[in-house]
Structure 1
Amino acid sequence: MRTKLFILTAMMISALAFSQKNELKDAEKAMKSGDAAAAKASLESISGMIGGADDRSQAQYYYVRGQVFADLAKKGEAGAFDEAIAAYKKVIEVEDASGKQKYSSDSGQALAGMTSDLINAAVEDNNNKKFKEGADKLYMAYKLSPQDTIYLYYAASSAVNGQHYEQALGYYEELKDLNYDGSTMSYKATNVETGEVEEMNDKTQMDIMIKSGTYKDPVMERSPSKSSEIIKNIALIYTQLGQDEKALQAYKDAKIKNPNDVNLVLNEANLYYKMGDKDRFKSLMAEASNMAPDNPDLQYNIGVINMEQGNMEEARAAYRRAIEINPGYVNAQLNLSTTYVNEGNALIDEMNSLGNSRADIARYEELKKQKDGLFREGALVLEDALKNNPDNQGILSQLKNIYGALGDNENFMRIKKLLGE
């Protein structure tokens, strides 16, 4: 009886093995004819029993599975990259354990080639605004090629673009732990014949071109480190997620690495304002201003932040300083004018709420006088700006609107004529 049972079991195992081999052959044939879907179906029919197969059959199964899903990944099937990578890695795992190598080398090459496929697919995802999918693929590329940390950096950027902040935070934290710098060296030289500055592949090429006499004036430039940007982004994401204390700690870490980065100080100041600490906000704004008193862009940014926080006098002082440094700073001039217009507009609500009593009428006239005075201050700023930029459409349009609101028809028509309307 036992002998009969053994024979029956043996026959079943033989039949299963025969079925597996047939399905694997069918899958391989389907792949050769370019029918990945049919190959996938053949593999799925034996997936439940492959765990009991011999090592050679398992390695073959996972190798074909890797080919199938790699092909499907190129065709855009969701999750196919994950499946392909897992399958190729399983091949290597099985053959390492058995000591018999047949598919491992090809699997390793396939994994290496898949990195470029992932990058190309991620670029397409980002172009189509599928930022999370792009970030996922870039991270997979990084895991396949850990020496190319730039892929992890791009994965974080893609996640931020899609507002997937927690995902981006994980990537940035990983970059921080790796002490990722991200700076690169560029090599340039001037083409003697054309006079154009051209970029070289590396120093060796640059040196050869200089020695040939066809190029001159070699220049080597290192791009700025991305480490401060990474820590700053960590802080900004913590702020976005409402984790203010962690954000403040991140700013402290960032300032230790880059004590002269005024943008870090500005962002930290903005966070303190958000937290209600206006004294710390003001001290940091003063610190930022002192760090680069002759930088018009910094003064402009200080003006923008103060304007956003409703600190009009501080905003005006910063905008005026930016204009003093750069008399043609149009954006600073426009924003300076806007501070007066916004303050004037803020009086209109109260004006509209007043009744017809004698007191209300008197208050209305008082507020109207204040409003018109603020509008005229805004107009004066732009009239000064026109002296250096007489054809600037932004200045002319804002000035026309102010004169229209004032009911100053003469100046309104003058500016309208300058606009060519």
Structure 2
Amino acid sequence: MNTKFKIITGLLFFSLATFAQKDEMKALKKIYAKEVISGDDLTEYKKYATKLGDVAIEESDKIYSDFYKCMLPLLEINALGANVTPIQIASFINLKTVSDLSSGLNATLEFEKKTGKKIYTDDINETIKNFKPMIWQFVIALDGQKKYKEVSQVAYSVYQLDKKDQERLYIAADYALRAQDYDNSIKLYNELNALNYTGEATNYLAKNKANDQEDYFNNVSERDIAVKIGTHTNPRIEKTPSKRGEIYKNLAMAYIAKNDIAGAKKSISDARLANPEDTSLIIAEANLYYKTNDLEMYKKLISEAAIKNPNDADLFYNLGVILSQSKDEASKIEAEKNYIKTITIDPKYKNAYINLTVLKLEGETKLVDQMNKLGTSPADNKKYEVLKAKQQGLYKSALPYLEKAEELFTGDAEIKSTLLNVYNALDMTDKYKALKNKK
């Protein structure tokens, strides 16, 4: 008898909970359907939404409980009327509300698709369309505060709301990388690649006569109609290039940051297959080999990039740096040629002048050591004079680059000090005094 009593009590509780859910669901549905929601309506809505969440048992009740809860911030914004301010909106939009909205609305859409009963599907799609720009203003505000991880999180939530808008997923991946959230950036970039996202687009623009600003149109027909009726002029097409190379390159950067060299090499390899003419990818791969101390491969790749992009001063400078690290004379000569090529492309490339000087004076220490070891015999004196002549030759070869550097970068203490030493060594007294007194 005791067992039967327990079973009856349990059934009674379940029955009461079911009735409660139905009452709360009806109340929430009624308030939600109102065109204008008052403060009292919001109070009731919050109360019923909380109660429904506490007693929801069936899948449908749980889904719609989350739906009503996640929609609350948007209802609160609507309740403020047409004159709602950005500051008021900002008080309701935050990381949690956007995340809850994304998960709540998507769960409802999936449930209604599964059951075939579209109670809120059309309303949700309209809500996403209307409120996405408002949520994106929150993203812009976070970016302004340099909260890059939060930007990534919200951008991803916006993508979850509208998966046709893959540009938001790209932004989420990019900001995860900026935030040094490498695991997440790798996940998001791989998600983009799985979608075969390229970012390529054709944009249709025309100048608005009212404000003299260019407007974007959804398609060429809409733009041409605006031009035809006279609201717009100067129609044009703008092409957005593929972002595939950049995605692979950024993936490699994230892998490198995690010291996952194998993952980085695969990303770069995939990137170059997709974009064989992209010199930035060649440089990214070269930098990867530099990080792993494979200087020969680095030199090969930088040389390849320099051939494809003969006006990139950085490429020739970097090649000069690597070649100058070699001990053989042929590499030193090639290093000098690359530094000279660098300043030919960019006459104000400061480090190229400094490295040229270092390269020219590289043998000085060895000569000084040899000179210091000599005695005072006639034979040693002759050797000394030969070595000194070689030393003077080094100074003279470096002089033009040092003087040009001092002219371009007056005030650089290191350049000035080196040039003073060279003037002194070459007995160029007048020039030494003039530079010494120069302010």
Q: Deviations over 1:102-142 (max 9, x none)?
A: 44443443344453344222222222222112111111211
- Is the CA contact (8 Å cut-off) linking 1:248 and 1:268 kept in structure 2? yes
- Is the CA contact (8 Å cut-off) linking 1:186 and 1:220 kept in structure 2? yes
Q: Deviations over 1:394-417 (max 9, x none)?
A: x2333x652256554522544x3x
Q: In structure 1, which of residues 254, 262, 265 is the aligned counterpart of residue 282 of structure 2?
A: 265
Q: Give ranges in structure 2 of 5+ residues lacking alignment.
A: 77-88, 327-331, 375-387, 421-431
Separation of aligned partners in 2, 1:287 and 1:61: 61
Aligned residue for 1:302?
A: 316
- Is the CA contact (8 Å cut-off) linking 1:60 and 1:103 kept in structure 2? no
- How do residues 303-342 of structure 1 correspond to structure 2 at under 5 angstroms? 303-304=317-318, 306-307=320-321, 311=325, 313=332, 316-324=336-344, 326=345, 329-332=346-349, 334-340=350-356
Q: In structure 2, which of residues 398, 405, 415 is the aligned counterpart of residue 382 of structure 1?
A: 405
3-state DSSP class of the match of 1:222?
Answer: strand
Flag the 1:232–1:59 CA change in 2: closer, same or farther, 3 A.
Answer: closer
Q: In structure 2, which of residues 291, 300, 316 is the aligned counterpart of residue 283 of structure 1?
A: 300
Normalising by structure 1, we get a TM-score of: 0.70
Separation of aligned partners in 2, 1:271 and 1:3: 74
3-state DSSP class of the match of 2:410?
Answer: helix
Is 2:69 aligned against 1:65?
Answer: yes
Aligned residue for 2:384?
A: none
Q: In structure 2, which of residues 184, 203, 216 is the aligned counterpart of residue 201 of structure 1?
A: 216
Deviation at 1:89, TM superposition (A): 4.0
Deviation at 1:222, TM superposition (A): 1.7
Is 2:247 aligned against 1:230?
Answer: yes
Aligned residue for 1:389?
A: none
Deviation at 1:319, TM superposition (A): 3.6
RMSD over aligned CA atoms reads 5.0
Which structure would you say has the larger Rg?
A: 2
Deviation at 1:302, TM superposition (A): 3.4
Stretch deviating more after TM superposition (122-131 or 368-377): 368-377
Separation of aligned partners in 2, 1:38 and 1:372: 88
3-state DSSP class of the match of 1:296?
Answer: coil
Flag the 1:28–1:81 CA change in 2: closer, same or farther, 3 A.
Answer: farther
Aligned residue for 2:425?
A: none
Q: In structure 1, which of residues 107, 123, 146 is the aligned counterpart of residue 140 of structure 2?
A: 123
- Is the CA contact (8 Å cut-off) linking 1:337 and 1:377 kept in structure 2? no
Is 2:53 aligned against 1:33?
Answer: no
Q: In structure 1, which of residues 385, 388, 397 is the aligned counterpart of residue 411 of structure 2?
A: 397
Deviation at 1:275, TM superposition (A): 1.6
Separation of aligned partners in 1, 2:99 and 2:308: 49
Q: In structure 1, which of residues 393, 411, 417 is the aligned counterpart of residue 435 of structure 2?
A: 411
Separation of aligned partners in 2, 1:32 and 1:179: 47
Separation of aligned partners in 2, 1:206 and 1:20: 54
3-state DSSP class of the match of 2:259?
Answer: coil
Aligned-partner residue type, residue 51 of structure 1:
I
Flag the 1:331–1:349 CA change in 2: closer, same or farther, 3 A.
Answer: same
- Is the CA contact (8 Å cut-off) linking 2:28 and 2:45 kept in structure 1? yes
Separation of aligned partners in 1, 2:352 and 2:227: 52
Q: Give ranges in structure 1 of 5+ residues lacking alignment.
A: 361-365, 387-391, 417-421
Aligned-partner residue type, residue 352 of structure 2:
L
- Is the CA contact (8 Å cut-off) linking 1:307 and 1:315 kept in structure 2? yes
3-state DSSP class of the match of 1:79?
Answer: helix
Normalising by structure 2, we get a TM-score of: 0.68
- How do residues 82-93 of structure 1 correspond to structure 2 at under 5 angstroms? 82-92=99-109
Q: Equivalent pairs: percent with the same residue? A: 22
Deviation at 1:49, TM superposition (A): 2.1
Separation of aligned partners in 2, 1:191 and 1:16: 59
Deviation at 1:155, TM superposition (A): 0.7
- Is the CA contact (8 Å cut-off) linking 2:317 and 2:338 kept in structure 1? yes
Separation of aligned partners in 1, 2:405 and 2:274: 41
Separation of aligned partners in 1, 2:250 and 2:298: 20
Aligned-partner residue type, residue 50 of structure 1:
A
- Is the CA contact (8 Å cut-off) linking 1:269 and 1:281 kept in structure 2? yes
3-state DSSP class of the match of 1:220?
Answer: strand
- Is the CA contact (8 Å cut-off) linking 2:152 and 2:175 kept in structure 1? yes
Deviation at 1:226, TM superposition (A): 0.9
Flag the 1:380–1:206 CA change in 2: closer, same or farther, 3 A.
Answer: farther
- Is the CA contact (8 Å cut-off) linking 2:207 and 2:215 kept in structure 1? no
3-state DSSP class of the match of 1:66?
Answer: helix
Flag the 1:405–1:28 CA change in 2: closer, same or farther, 3 A.
Answer: farther
Deviation at 1:184, TM superposition (A): 2.6
Aligned residue for 1:49?
A: 55
3-state DSSP class of the match of 2:164?
Answer: coil
Aligned residue for 2:188?
A: 171
Deviation at 1:153, TM superposition (A): 0.8
Deviation at 1:249, TM superposition (A): 2.4
